[in-house]
Amino acid sequence: EPVFGNIGTTKRLNRFGLRGKKKVQGQWQLYCLIHNIEKLANYGRLGT
């Protein structure tokens, strides 16, 4: 579960700032999207 650790500590998502299931789901998806974009951006740097 490194993904949850990364989102929790690095991005400082300790609790959701919105109310409602749809809003929380949207916020979670946004954090996951950012995590995946960072993985793609750093993917080419591993070999160098």
Whether residue 33 is contained in a domain is answered as yes
What does the pLDDT average to over 10-31? Answer: 85
What does the pLDDT average to over 32-38? Answer: 87
Whether residue 14 is contained in a domain is answered as no
Q: Is the pLDDT of residue 48 over 60?
A: no
Q: Is the pLDDT of residue 41 over 90?
A: no
The DSSP code for 11 is: S
Residue 47 has φ and ψ, to the nearest 5°, of -80, -15
- Domain hosting 34: range is 3-8+19-46
Alpha-carbon span 22 to 7, nearest angstrom: 19
Whether residue 36 is contained in a domain is answered as yes
pTM of the complete model: 0.71
The DSSP code for 34 is: H
How many domains, in total, are found in the chain? 1
Q: Is the pLDDT of residue 47 over 70?
A: no
